[in-house]
Amino acid sequence: MKIGFDIDDTLISLREYAFHHYNKILEKNVSIEQFNSLPTLYIHEPFGLSSEEGKNLWLTNAEHIFFTSCPPYEGVVDLLHKLVHNGHEIYYITSRSKEYCQKTYDWMKLNNFPIEQGRFFCGMEDHEKVDIIESLSLDYYFDDKPAVIETLTESKTKIYVKDQSYNKHLAVPRINDWQELKNIIKI
Q: Which residues are catalytic?
A: 6, 8
C-alpha closest to that of 76 among 142, 135, 129 = 142
Question: Given the DSSP bridges, would you call strands 140-143 and 120-122 parallel, antiparallel or unpaired?
Answer: unpaired
